Structure 1
Amino acid sequence: MERPRTEAAAIHLAERCRAEGMRVTPQRIAVYEALLASRVHPSPEDIFRTLRSAVPSLSLATVYNALDALESLQLVRKVVTLGEVRRYDANLTPHHHLICTACLSIRDLDASRLSRIRLKGDLDGFQADQISVQILGRCADCTSSAEN
């Protein structure tokens, strides 16, 4: 059931790579598909651990290079978290992040839930291209375990 989505992702990635003169590699495709399938905003190390048995030619350096390429193609975005750990997100729809300060998990928060925050005016001459909000706190699991 997941196959059409991964085929479409591979085709989309191949089209974007070719348009930018970049090579389409099995490693880039695997990293992109892993990000699309993930709901946890994985780090490069997480992606490497997930893929290394399925893609023997993969190294951690290759994962970092693939992520840099995917980011330059605007297919994924980097999420900088507490401790400046690089995490990645393939969900490019407008959304924000809820970051747990205890377990460092990241959850998506639909942008419409913060609809009262609006950019009006010129922000003192600053032109915003994108708004990224990170809300720090404790996730439900960490809150309930702290109460016990």
Structure 2
Amino acid sequence: MTISQEDIRTRFKSHGLKVTPQRAAIYKALAETTSHPTAETLFQQVSKDYPMISPNTVYYTLSTLKGAGLVKEVNYWHDGARFDANVTPHHHLICLGCRAIFDIEDRVLNQIQHKAKLPKHFQVLSHQVEFYGYCASCQKAQLPHKK
């Protein structure tokens, strides 16, 4: 999905954020992928167009965008956060082999918290369903080779 600079400006302004070229480039790179990249991956990508950008700027920007509700942090293996600009309710398929993360849009899964028998003293703000398994590439790699 391609996002325009005007869309970025509108989103930032509606969340009270100042628009800077580096901040917009980081958000654009994240919004145009579904790969759930790490901060390091985003730094490598954005630094091609902004060679003076620092890793700290990327980390700080991601923290700012997360605080504003424009991105979510996705962390399944506790070995480094990954980020997602899709903040609408959705769920994930997670490959245990290559660690790829795939989005799932499913209205039925979105309704789970409303049908679950939850303790009355607990207020649920959101939920996410995760499916763990192996993507097609990893399944193929695990197949025994025939002679």
Q: What is the TM-score of this pair, normalised by structure 1?
A: 0.85
In structure 1, what is the Cα distance between the partners aligned to 2:60 and 2:90? 25
Stretches of 4+ aligned residues off by more than 6 angstroms: none
Q: Does the CA-based 8 Å contact 1:82-1:101 persist in structure 2?
A: no
State the Cα deviation string for residues 102-130 of structure 1 (Å, max 9, x = none): 10100001132536734336611211111
Query: Which residue of 1 is the match for residue 41 of structure 2?
Result: 46
| SS of equivalent residue, structure 2 residue 70 | coil
In structure 1, what is the Cα distance between the partners aligned to 2:102 and 2:113? 22
Query: Which residue of 2 is the match for residue 87 of structure 1?
Result: 82
Aligned length in residues: 143
Query: Which residue of 1 is the match for residue 94 of structure 2?
Result: 99
Q: Which has the higher helix share?
A: 1
In structure 2, what is the Cα distance between the partners aligned to 1:121 and 1:97? 20
| SS of equivalent residue, structure 1 residue 141 | helix
State the Cα deviation string for residues 87-144 of structure 1 (Å, max 9, x = none): 0101122111111111010000113253673433661121111111222211111012
Q: Does the CA-based 8 Å contact 2:91-2:128 persist in structure 1?
A: yes
| SS of equivalent residue, structure 1 residue 53 | coil
| Corresponding letter in the other structure for 1:16 | S
Distance 1:75 1:132, change over 3 A: same
Query: Which residue of 2 is the match for residue 7 of structure 1?
Result: 5
Q: Which runs of 5+ in 2 are unaligned?
A: none
| Corresponding letter in the other structure for 1:134 | E
Q: Which runs of 5+ in 1 are unaligned?
A: none
Query: Which residue of 2 is the match for residue 135 of structure 1?
Result: 131
How far off its partner does 1:76 sit? 0.7
Q: What is the TM-score of this pair, normalised by structure 2?
A: 0.85
